[in-house]
């Protein structure tokens, strides 16, 4: 299985990138997974590691990352705070040196903090700003920073977030953002089409 993509690589501008899960080679890759210290990120990291991939997990909680690496010899971990552009720049410089075969990026990390719309505006604004920085700007910055490395690999893949993986040709008409009263700032930063 291989990644299928339509692109104009000669000038590095892309008409479309389409990833079909049926066409992705799930072995022999070097994969970085953000948010790999727990939950979906950990499960994905462990499954891809067992399938024969080199896996690097990245996240804020060093102890959680270390626990995953200790439980799965061969998984590497790096510290990353998606709200901090400097942290993203450091990781993007570090990864190609430590893992020159890096060819897959999975932007899995995210935050979802409960918001009390009756609270003071400053607290609400801080939650919204953090949510946008981590869930939207962070993955965009990390993808942009790693794109030169990924484009240098014969078989590369990346996606904006686990929530946005859609098979090629899937119908996205009629999709709407997940509307959750307790987390209104997160809805616009997550996948626009969640079925």
pLDDT string in tens for the chain (195-residue length): 333 333 334 433 333 333 444 556 778 999 999 999 999 999 999 999 999 999 999 999 999 999 999 999 999 999 999 999 999 999 999 999 999 999 999 999 988 888 777 777 788 888 889 888 989 999 999 999 999 998 888 888 776 554 443 332 334 443 333 444 444 444 445 544 343
The reported pTM is 0.72
The whole-angstrom separation of Cα 91 and Cα 109 is 15
Q: Domain ranges for the chain, please list them.
A: 6-189
The whole-angstrom separation of Cα 179 and Cα 175 is 12
Characterize 67-93 residue by residue with b for buried, 16 or more Cβ atoms within 10 angstroms of its Cβ, and e for exposed.
ebbeeeeebbbbebbbbeeebbebbbe
6-189 classified as CATH 3.40.50.720: yes
Find out whether 73 and 49 touch, Cβ atoms under 8 Å: no
Find out whether 34 and 160 touch, Cβ atoms under 8 Å: no
């Amino acid at each position: 299985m291989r990644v299928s993509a339509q692109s104009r690589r000669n000038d590095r501008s892309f008409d479309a990138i389409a990833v079909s899960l049926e066409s992705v080679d799930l072995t022999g890759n070097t994969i970085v997974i953000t948010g790999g210290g727990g939950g979906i990120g950990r499960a994905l990291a462990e499954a891809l590691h067992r399938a024969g991939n080199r896996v690097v997990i990245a996240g804020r909680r060093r102890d959680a990352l270390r626990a995953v690496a200790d439980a799965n010899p061969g998984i590497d971990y790096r510290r990353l705070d998606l709200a901090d552009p400097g942290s993203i720049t450091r990781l993007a410089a570090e990864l190609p040196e430590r893992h020159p075969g890096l060819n897959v990026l999975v932007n899995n990390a995210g935050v979802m903090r409960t918001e009390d719309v009756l609270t003071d505006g400053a607290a609400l604004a801080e939650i919204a700003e953090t949510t946008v920085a981590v869930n939207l700007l962070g993955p965009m910055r990390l993808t942009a920073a790693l794109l030169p490395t990924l484009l240098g690999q014969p078989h590369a893949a990346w996606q904006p977030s686990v929530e946005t993986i859609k098979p090629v040709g899937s119908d996205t008409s009629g999709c709407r953002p997940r509307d959750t009263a307790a987390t209104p700032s997160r809805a616009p930063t997550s996948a626009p089409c969640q079925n």
